[in-house]
């Protein structure tokens, strides 16, 4: 693969290159899961990017052969173990009303359009909601749970992994207009704002330098179509906003909190940058 | 007692006589090593799968002794020569005495 060739002979080319994308135009690895589920790992950039990117790439494209292979087979994908636990939680009664997710939603497959369209505007609450916020809403308003799951809790990650797994192959298409536009614009502002002592914005790495090395690893475009992600570095599922927090922390900034309005706005914006890619969570990354 | 312990196996449905087929197995298990401590400083008791076996029509294919440093959700992949149609039987032995079993049939055309 071209990313890997960069290590050996690409240093000169990298120095000359203005746009990293030009270096891997012939990049052609395709992601097919279980032999029949075809994913879109590269797509024309959505119009709202206005030429900032020509093509959007799933983070899968940037990973090593071994890591890529793990995601091509559910048996090899450790994230699917968590999705299975999510299925058990889906069928478990919780809260004062003795209801499970399945009481209303029948099965996870009936929610297969969720992952591809969230975060989305919630008319009743007058805010943009992530999948996690929607789950918490169900738990507190429908199921009578006094202490809903934390956004970053194991239960929440397992259930969101389930919701992602049943949505695999669906094309990400979050709405950025109408009532969501204000939130989306806040997210865009955050994306392009330099944070921390290192004065890095999201765009510094994920728009201007994707494909290049950061320490011993290739920068991706920071697409979130594969979340929640099973990371080999910590052998567990990782949520989107927790990943944001890790990124912002690494710029040596005080980060926004998981579940904060800022990160929700950023999640909507980053999700919209991946409009056109397919949902592939739970994905495997390093 | 370990929670959420589920064995899984992948065995081809068909093979030709004498063919070496690839078998994959995985059991979800915490594989608690017995040397970690919880937030109060107390040792978390060891709880692992200590033995894994596979037989084909009653004949041993592999018999593995497992030690505490093996990671969570132990995964085994191995090859077995299939002389005839039959059944692979898989057994995992837990420290707590639980025994988990799974099996898969294979047809030799």
Alpha-carbon distance A220 to A206, whole Å? 6
Q: What is the pLDDT of residue A217?
A: 87
Q: What is the pLDDT of residue A104?
A: 93
Burial class (CB in 10 A: 0-12, 13-18, 19+), A81: buried
More confident residue, A3 or A113: A113
Nearest to B28 among A75, A81, A235 (CB): A81
B chain contacts of residue A78, beta-carbon cutoff 8 Å: 73
A91-108 pLDDT, tens digit each: 999 989 999 999 999 999
Q: What is the pLDDT of residue A29?
A: 84
Q: Determine the average pLDDT of the residues in A242-271.
A: 96
* Interface predicted TM-score (ipTM) over 0.90: no
B35-58 pLDDT, tens digit each: 999 999 999 999 999 999 999 999
Is the separation of the CB atoms in B85 and B29 below 8 Å? no
Confidence grade of residue B23 (pLDDT, cut at 50, 70, 90): very high
Query: Distance from A34 to chain B by nearest Cα, in Å?
Result: 13
Q: Determine the average pLDDT of the residues in A25-34.
A: 76
Confidence grade of residue A13 (pLDDT, cut at 50, 70, 90): very low
Q: Is A247 a catalytic residue?
A: yes
More confident residue, A27 or B104: B104
- Per the prediction, chain A carries an average pLDDT of 90
Residues whose CB falls within 8 Å of the CB of residue B66, separated by 6 or more in sequence, listed in order: B48, B49, B50, B51, B52, B74
Whole-model pTM? 0.86
What angle, rounded to 10 degrees, do the helices at A154-165 and A79-90 form? 100
> In the numeric block, which tokens belong to residue A229?
């992600």
Three-state helix/strand/coil letters over A203-266: HHHHCCCCCCEECCEECCCCCCCCCCEEECCCCEEECHHHHHHHHHHHCCCCCCCCCCHHHHHH
CB atoms within 10 A of CB A39: 22
A chain contacts of residue B24, beta-carbon cutoff 8 Å: 75
Is residue A277 predicted with pLDDT exceeding 70? Answer: yes
> In the numeric block, which tokens belong to residue A109?
């497959």
Instruction: Report phi then psi at A285, rounded to 5.
Output: -135, 170
Query: Distance from B10 to chain A by nearest Cα, in Å?
Result: 8
Q: Determine the average pLDDT of the residues in A191-209.
A: 96
Is the separation of the CB atoms in B94 and B5 below 8 Å? yes
Q: Which of A76, A79, A80, A158 would you mutate first to test chain B, the one with the most B CBs within 10 A?
A: A76
Confidence grade of residue A21 (pLDDT, cut at 50, 70, 90): very low
Q: Determine the average pLDDT of the residues in A255-280.
A: 96
Q: What is the pLDDT of residue A26?
A: 39
Is residue B76 predicted with pLDDT exceeding 60? Answer: yes
Residues whose CB falls within 8 Å of the CB of residue A57, separated by 6 or more in sequence, listed in order: A41, A42, A210, A220, A221, A223
């Amino acid at each position: 693969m071209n990313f890997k060739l960069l290590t050996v002979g690409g240093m000169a080319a990298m120095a000359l290159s203005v746009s990293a994308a030009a270096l891997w135009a012939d990049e052609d690895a395709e992601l097919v899961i279980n032999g029949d589920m075809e994913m879109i790992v590269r797509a024309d950039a959505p119009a709202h990017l206005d030429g900032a990117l020509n093509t959007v790439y799933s983070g899968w494209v940037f990973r090593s052969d071994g890591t890529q292979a793990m995601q091509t087979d559910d048996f090899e994908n450790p994230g699917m173990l968590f999705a299975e636990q999510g299925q058990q939680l889906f069928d478990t009664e919780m809260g004062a009303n003795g209801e499970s997710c399945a009481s209303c939603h029948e099965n996870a497959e009936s929610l297969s359009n969720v992952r591809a369209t969230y975060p989305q505007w919630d008319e009743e609450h007058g805010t943009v909601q992530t999948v996690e916020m929607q789950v918490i809403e169900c738990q507190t308003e429908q199921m009578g749970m006094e202490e809903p799951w934390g956004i970053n809790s194991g239960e929440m990650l397992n259930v969101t992994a389930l919701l992602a797994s049943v949505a695999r192959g669906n094309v990400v298409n979050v709405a950025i207009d109408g009532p969501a536009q204000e939130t989306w614009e806040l997210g865009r502002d955050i994306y392009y704002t330099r944070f921390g002592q290192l004065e890095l914005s999201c765009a510094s790495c994920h728009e201007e330098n994707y494909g290049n090395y950061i320490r011993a690893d290739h920068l991706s475009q920071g697409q979130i179509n594969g979340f929640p992600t099973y990371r080999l570095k910590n052998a567990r599922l990782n949520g989107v906003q927790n990943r944001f927090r890790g990124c912002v922390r690494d710029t040596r900034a005080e980060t926004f909190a998981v579940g904060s309005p800022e990160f929700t706005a950023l999640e909507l914006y980053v999700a919209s940058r991946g409009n056109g890619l397919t949902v592939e969570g739970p994905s495997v990354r390093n | 007692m370990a929670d959420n312990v589920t064995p899984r196996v992948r065995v081809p449905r068909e093979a030709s006589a004498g063919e070496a087929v690839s078998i994959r197995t995985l059991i979800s298990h915490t594989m608690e090593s017995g040397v970690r401590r919880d937030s109060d400083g107390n040792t978390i008791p060891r709880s692992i799968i200590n033995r894994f076996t596979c037989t084909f029509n009653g004949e041993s294919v592999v018999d593995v002794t497992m030690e505490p440093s093996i990671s969570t959700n132990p995964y085994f992949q191995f090859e077995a020569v299939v002389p005839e149609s039959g059944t692979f039987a898989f057994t995992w032995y837990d420290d707590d005495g639980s025994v988990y079993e799974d099996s898969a049939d294979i047809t030799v055309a």
